[in-house]
Structure 1
Amino acid sequence: MDAPAGTKRFLSLKVNHYITFLSVLGTLSFLWNIRWTMPVNPEWVVLYSMVGSILLLDHFMFRLPPENNSQSMDSALYLACLFTFGLNMTLYVLVLSAALSPFYKRLEWWKHVVNFACYSLMITSAYHVFRLSGGAVGSFQTEAVYSYVAALLSYFIVNVLALGLYYYLSVKDQFFQIIRGMFRESLAAYVSTLLLSLMLTVMFQTNFYFSLFLFLGICVLLSATFKQLFVLYQEVSDKATKDQRTGLYNHGYFEELLEKELARAKASDMTFSVAILDLDNFKKYNDSFGHLQGDKLLEFFGKLLLEECDRNEYIVARYGGEEFTVLLPQRGEREAFAFVNALRKKANDSYFEGVEILAHGCLSFSAGVAEYRKEIHDKSQLLDKADQAMYFAKAQGKNLVHIYNEQSIIQKTFDIEKDIQEIEQQLKIFLSKDIYTFQHSKRVFSYAVDFCNYLPLTDPEKKTLILGALFHDIGKLEVPRSILQKKEKLTAEEWEAVKKHVLWGKEIVSAIDKYKELLPLIELHHERVDGKGYPYGLKGEEIPKLARILCVIDSFDAMTTERPYQQTKTFDEAIRELQVCSGKQFDPVYVESFIKMIHGKYLFKLNEAAAAKEAT
């Protein structure tokens, strides 16, 4: 029962308690069921033959794609032994195999203990289920085939639950998701195990030693065949996932891993951090010594990164050019900073030919670190924050590591007035296609400007909200004009097309690098806190804060302005609707603040206008 990759350094107290509990339970199960009676002469030969076969199968394990999975056929032998010779003989085989395995299988001692405990639980549970369901030890009984199936199911379920709980406590994914994944991935292997164990049980009745020899021969040949297949797979996989220059993961595969880590963090209370590293003055080195020597420097630096990250079980990739990324699972920003800063110092002390001509007289890099937060919805947001922090480190003189905060944005900030003008120019396309969307975007923008004064937002958050409000419906450029301008109620198909505008908007704005911070608002402003929104059905704090705020503003304007397919509400009616839907569609905190803003800045103006109209 090996710990999953990337977790053994992070075993929590709960995992240690679980390992201890499982080890004690498995050992007690073994001691409760073993009968310490000495085998007679023929049984000794069977025992040694089975133990030797188990050790041989452990040595020739099947290595299977895609993730270096290993499959041993020892379970088929254990079950065949159980069905043919009974529980006592099988437990003798288990304990002798477990006692010998540390001499050839280099694992931490506790893994040997846990493996023994797991097998003990699986074997004893399978035996008792086999007997209780009517199975009898000895020759194969066709009429009791369901007993063999029940035994295997018990063996399988105990194994999956034991491993599943370990993975759950180690990496804190959702438990049932882990169990479903293990059932899906292991079902074929366990069905094969059942068939092989039944085949061996039948064959053992005719000629035990010859049957064992045939089985081992087939397994060894299959292992060699699968080994060749795995080598070919690994070569193809490396070309798809590795950077050929440095041997590190490439940009695309790193983002896949980051996506998985982000999903895991969203489903648990765990965090992680990302760092972006950029070699300082690399262009100068390239210009001075040529691209071939520059490539050698990249290889040297990549090897240094890989050694340090592998030692700590972090994931490192070449992100492009002289930029590198590091994914630090279960590490907060301060721990990530400490690691990357120590890495920076090691790089400074690692000599490579020619680096003395660089500004710092040594190999150096600037780095930015960003920690996952609940309001981060997309991997690009996290990478952008790390990138901003890295640019800030460069602006401070290079050869520094900086943790993302508001100060990081100073180096990549832009004039909001200029950006408003730029976005308005793009929105004017709506004037010819759908003037309502243009006017709606302008009104939502105005509400957002005013609403910022009623919210405890930072200046960067205010800027993002204001620009996001102006840009939020840009995806409707892709919606057919016939739908946007339709007077009647939309059909179900037409409504589905309208709902896609959030995804189309994300695609449009993704192409504009400076507006990446706006993507969550554009994509998620139709999500609801009760999980009934679109496009993903996120709920509560799964929805970024600014998207929840924009949802209130957008909905209020939609209710209070004339639209072809719904009746216009007065401000008072819209306020009541916000209150009714508070906690369902809208975040109650922002509903309350928005209503205060409407009362303070808009209703008195409407009342004054109505009074003036009556006076005339």
Structure 2
Amino acid sequence: MYRHSIYTKLYIWFITCLGIAVYLLHAEFPAASLEDWVLIYVLTSSVLLVNHFLVYLPPEGNSISMDSAIYLACLFTFGLRITLIILLLASFIYALYKSRIELWKHLFNFSMYSLMIIGSYYTFLAIGGKIGTIDIYDIFPYVFALLIYFLLSSYFIVSSKIFKGVLNFGLFKEVAMTYCITLILSLDLSILLQKETYFGTFLFTILVVLLSIAFSKFLHLYQQISNRANKDHLTGLYNHGFFKEMLKEQFYDAKKLKHSFTLALLDLDDFKKYNDRNGHLQGDKLLEFFGDLLKKATEDTNFIVARYGGEEFALLMPNTTKEEAHVFLDRLRKQVNDTYFPGVEHIPYRCLSFSCGIAEMEKGMYDSGELIHKADQALYYAKAQGKNNVQIYNEHNICLDEIRFKQDLDTLEQQIKFFLSKDVYTYRHSKRVFKYALEFSKQLDLTDHEKQTLILGALIHDIGKIEVPRDILNKEEKLTSHEWEIVKKHVTWGKEIIAAEKQFDDLIPLVELHHERYDGKGYPYGLKGQEIPKLARILTIIDSFDAMTTERPYQCTKTFEEAIAEIERCAGTQFDPLYAKMFTEFVQTNYLPRLQRQAPS
């Protein structure tokens, strides 16, 4: 039995007891005549048949049962007494037929239907509906009865989803469409029941059975086409395109629901050497074999496995911490080492092996691309450690060395020199923000990697302004709304420029998000508080301080004291209050005394 929390169990038993109690208060036994019993048996058989022949819809796992249409049609045509008897008989027979399902699930389902049917009945009567006659000129009683049926059903479904910690935010849209179809079919069946009771039931049941068969074939074709589009033809795993879609979807779901979410990237060790020695056909067989190992290892989990490209594979691991992922993948690594495949004895480790990098979603992440980048860095580190090992992304271990940092600094210096001919003010602004970041980072509790990223990001943060027309950049008058929209695009253009060089992926959040505000009123995304990456929040303060204190012709310039006061005033709205306080203290300690000494006496 599914392990429910105490609250889930209480909820289930409360609904079950309530539904059974309400049913017993309204049920009337036995039926008045033999004719009624014949009608009940016929309609019960119809309910059981439509429950067996579900109408399946894509994507896989979605289906519609037409039993609600039968219950509502019975309610509108014959009233509550016969409908409740049909519900009891159908539920009892279905429970016998599906005896492997736990009894509590059958009771819970029966109770939900009882409450939905009885609620719809009283709503129908309250709005002025009349049992036994279908008034096509007054549709409101039927609509409101269906609405109550829908709302009660949605409440039960969503409540149970919440207790499990999973909430599908597209649920209401899907369920609403289903119940619109249900209302139409229930009215159709009601008309048939009034004209030709038994033949009408027969026609409706046959229609549902045929729809079920037709939609099953349609679903089969849909799945075939979907598999071709989403599956890698060699390994049978999901392909790169599907992986990126699912990563983005699960990343935002986990962020919204505040669940743990981990990504792992795996790379087959020395695959090129294996290919060179054994040939590409045998290399393809190895990829296929490794794909099968991954499938078997994850078949009892909710992980999604994909071929990321070449000999690289990816695992999406929802509701999994990086530590749990490490345990799972290191055990898998050992299992792979112990699994023989022809030809692996000639590669360095003399066995099948892989390197793996793991990264867990963090609070400051705003984009799934960050997760890929960090997992990729961890994978690179695993290879640097001698391959055949699993590494968790750790900024203390995975950082730029001094030589690489200086090389990157020189490269970025060359890029911003383009501003010398186009907008010298942006060039000088970038250099000053870089200098502030270099000095301020020494006083911050950051890793070496974070300090280097902040410094490089400060230097290049306005690179996107290269794409802004010169006349807008150098305009002395106030910008029009259209011109301002163009200027705001510099963060997106900057991201595109930086993303062209993979080595600078860490700088993307600083380039793209340095105009986000702590209160969520910034651009381009309107991120708020901790949603904005830490380094971007720091850079926003430095960037704004220099913008306020920069001397430009025909524009007002604030003194350092005035800029400090402005940052203090906007702490908690525009700026992160913690870093705003630290930066103002840094300026007061390092710059104000120097300025005061330079001031004429």
Same fold per superposition (TM over 0.5): yes
* More divergent stretch after superposition (91-100 vs 147-156): 91-100
Match of 1:369 in 2: 358
Report the CA distance shift for 1:137/1:105 in structure 2 as closer, same or farther (over 3 A): same
Distance apart, 1:211 and its partner CA: 0.5
Per-residue Cα deviation, 1:98-155 (whole angstroms, up to 9, x for no partner): 2333555587425444433332222121112112222232232345532111110101
Matches within 5 A, 1:123-134: 123-134=117-128
Distance apart, 1:14 and its partner CA: 4.7
2:524 aligns to what SS in structure 1? Answer: coil
Match of 1:304 in 2: 293
Match of 2:148 in 1: 154
* Partner residue of 2:160 out of 163, 166, 182: 166
Match of 1:56 in 2: 49
1:431 aligns with 2:420: yes
Residue identity in the other structure for 1:238: N
Task: Find the aligned partners of 2:10 and 2:313 in 1 and give their Cα distance.
Answer: 38
1:318 aligns to what SS in structure 2? Answer: strand
Residue identity in the other structure for 1:585: Q
Task: Find the aligned partners of 1:411 and 1:551 in 2 and give their Cα distance.
Answer: 23
Q: Is the 8 A contact 1:337 1:369 kept in 2?
A: yes
Distance apart, 1:95 and its partner CA: 2.6
* More divergent stretch after superposition (19-28 vs 358-367): 19-28
Q: Which runs of 5+ in 2 are unaligned?
A: none
Task: Find the aligned partners of 2:519 and 2:404 in 1 and give their Cα distance.
Answer: 36
* Partner residue of 1:456 out of 445, 451, 466: 445
Distance apart, 1:221 and its partner CA: 2.0
Per-residue Cα deviation, 1:225-248 (whole angstroms, up to 9, x for no partner): 222322222222222221111111
1:535 aligns with 2:524: yes
2:342 aligns to what SS in structure 1? Answer: coil
2:236 aligns to what SS in structure 1? Answer: coil
Task: Find the aligned partners of 1:358 and 1:18 in 2 and give their Cα distance.
Answer: 58
Task: Find the aligned partners of 1:182 and 1:577 in 2 and give their Cα distance.
Answer: 46
Q: Is the 8 A contact 2:567 2:580 kept in 1?
A: yes
Match of 1:3 in 2: none
* More divergent stretch after superposition (244-253 vs 101-110): 101-110
Distance apart, 1:564 and its partner CA: 5.7
2:493 aligns to what SS in structure 1? Answer: helix
Task: Find the aligned partners of 2:32 and 2:327 in 1 and give their Cα distance.
Answer: 60
Match of 1:386 in 2: 375
Q: Is the 8 A contact 2:405 2:452 kept in 1?
A: yes
Matches within 5 A, 1:4-403: 14-38=7-31, 40-102=33-95, 108-109=101-102, 110-142=104-136, 144-173=138-167, 178=169, 181-403=170-392
Q: Is the 8 A contact 1:76 1:193 kept in 2?
A: yes
Distance apart, 1:418 and its partner CA: 1.6
Task: Find the aligned partners of 2:165 and 2:242 in 1 and give their Cα distance.
Answer: 20
* Partner residue of 2:594 out of 605, 608, 611: 605
1:409 aligns to what SS in structure 2? Answer: coil
Per-residue Cα deviation, 1:550-607 (whole angstroms, up to 9, x for no partner): 0000000000002467411111111111111111100111111101111111111111
Distance apart, 1:437 and its partner CA: 1.0
Residue identity in the other structure for 1:468: G
Q: Is the 8 A contact 2:396 2:448 kept in 1?
A: no
Identity level (%): 52
Matches within 5 A, 1:457-496: 457-496=446-485
Residue identity in the other structure for 1:81: C
Q: Is the 8 A contact 2:237 2:306 kept in 1?
A: yes
Task: Find the aligned partners of 2:265 and 2:14 in 1 and give their Cα distance.
Answer: 41
Task: Find the aligned partners of 2:30 and 2:199 in 1 and give their Cα distance.
Answer: 27
* Partner residue of 1:587 out of 576, 579, 582: 576
Task: Find the aligned partners of 2:340 and 2:475 in 1 and give their Cα distance.
Answer: 69
Q: Which runs of 5+ in 1 are unaligned?
A: 1-7
Per-residue Cα deviation, 1:313-363 (whole angstroms, up to 9, x for no partner): 211111111111111111111111122122222222333333333333332
Q: Is the 8 A contact 1:488 1:564 kept in 2?
A: no
Report the CA distance shift for 1:102/1:321 in structure 2 as closer, same or farther (over 3 A): farther
Match of 1:5 in 2: none
Over aligned residues, Cα RMSD in angstroms?
A: 2.3
Aligned residues: 600
Task: Find the aligned partners of 2:252 and 2:2 in 1 and give their Cα distance.
Answer: 21
Task: Find the aligned partners of 1:333 and 1:27 in 2 and give their Cα distance.
Answer: 46
Report the CA distance shift for 1:423/1:24 in structure 2 as closer, same or farther (over 3 A): farther
1:249 aligns to what SS in structure 2? Answer: coil
Match of 2:494 in 1: 505
1:436 aligns to what SS in structure 2? Answer: helix
Q: Is the 8 A contact 2:70 2:186 kept in 1?
A: yes
Residue identity in the other structure for 1:365: F
Distance apart, 1:423 and its partner CA: 0.2
TM-score, normalised to structure 2's length?
0.94
Task: Find the aligned partners of 1:85 and 1:76 in 2 and give their Cα distance.
Answer: 14
Q: Is the 8 A contact 2:260 2:320 kept in 1?
A: yes
Residue identity in the other structure for 2:65: S
Q: Is the 8 A contact 1:370 1:404 kept in 2?
A: yes
Report the CA distance shift for 1:239/1:563 in structure 2 as closer, same or farther (over 3 A): farther
Report the CA distance shift for 1:544/1:281 in structure 2 as closer, same or farther (over 3 A): same
Distance apart, 1:447 and its partner CA: 0.4
TM-score, normalised to structure 1's length?
0.92
Report the CA distance shift for 1:480/1:111 in structure 2 as closer, same or farther (over 3 A): farther
